């Protein structure tokens, strides 16, 4: 949104330092670059709004079909957490509504890490060295500073016959938080029913 403070007087352009520069002082190639970037952003904003409108309409249409079938047959249409897949009669087109949960960890995760550190200190030097590497890798936050959810949850599938390990795994289980639920609308297509599905790209990275 443009505010009064963002208004640039006619015949001027604002540079990266906020200074007003007369148009005649701006190089022609910089003018062309500025025009191109503005034009692409304006077109992208329109496409983004169209995609958002398409997504809203898609969810509404699927919900309407579910409501219709529920009213007619008295049964709910859809899988766990609202996931549902719809297909054309010939099996060539498919629409999937998927609900995805974002998992985060509460303060209990730090308790689990402390218990595991104590466990490794208690174990003799060199014992279970490979397991130690797996645990260290799971709790490595990396460059983004975020815990690796899948690796931490994967620790709970390991069968380690040690009470302190089991206590740490219980702490991990108690730390799990369902942060939010996101809805996805995915479209797939294929030429014949015996072929693999191909997702219809709806973002620039996959187009």
Which value, in Å, is the radius of gyration of the alpha carbons in the chain?
27
The whole-chain average pLDDT of the chain stands at 85
Check pLDDT > 70 for residue 207.
Answer: no
pLDDT score, position 101: 72
* Interval 83-127: pLDDT, tens: 889 999 999 999 999 887 778 889 999 999 999 988 888 876 555
Determine what percent of the chain is predicted with pLDDT higher than 90.
43
Distance CA 167, CA 122 (A): 15
74: left (phi over 0), alpha (psi -120 to 50) or beta: left
* Interval 124-183: pLDDT, tens: 655 577 788 888 888 887 666 677 888 888 888 888 888 889 999 999 999 988 766 778
pTM of the model: 0.60
Distance CA 141, CA 152 (A): 11
Average pLDDT of span 29-47: 96
């Amino acid at each position: 949104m443009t505010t009064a403070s963002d208004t640039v007087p006619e015949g001027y352009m604002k540079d990266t330092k906020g200074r007003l520069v007369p148009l005649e002082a701006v190089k022609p190639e910089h003018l062309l670059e500025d025009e191109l970037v503005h034009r692409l952003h304006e077109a992208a904003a329109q496409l983004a709004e169209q995609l958002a409108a398409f997504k809203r309409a898609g969810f509404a249409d699927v919900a309407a079909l579910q409501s219709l079938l529920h009213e007619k047959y008295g049964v709910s249409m859809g899988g766990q957490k609202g996931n549902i897949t719809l297909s054309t009669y010939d099996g060539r087109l498919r629409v999937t509504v998927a609900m995805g949960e974002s998992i985060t960890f509460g303060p209990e995760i730090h308790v689990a890490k402390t218990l595991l550190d104590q466990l490794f200190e208690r174990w003799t030097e060199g014992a279970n060295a490979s397991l130690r590497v797996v645990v260290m890798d799971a709790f490595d936050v990396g460059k983004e500073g975020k815990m690796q959810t899948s690796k931490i949850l994967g620790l709970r599938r390991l069968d380690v016959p040690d009470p302190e390990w089991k206590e740490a795994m219980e702490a991990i289980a108690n730390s799990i938080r369902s942060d939010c639920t996101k809805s996805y609308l995915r479209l797939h297509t294929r030429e014949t029913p015996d072929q693999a599905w191909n997702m219809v790209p709806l973002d620039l990275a996959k187009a």
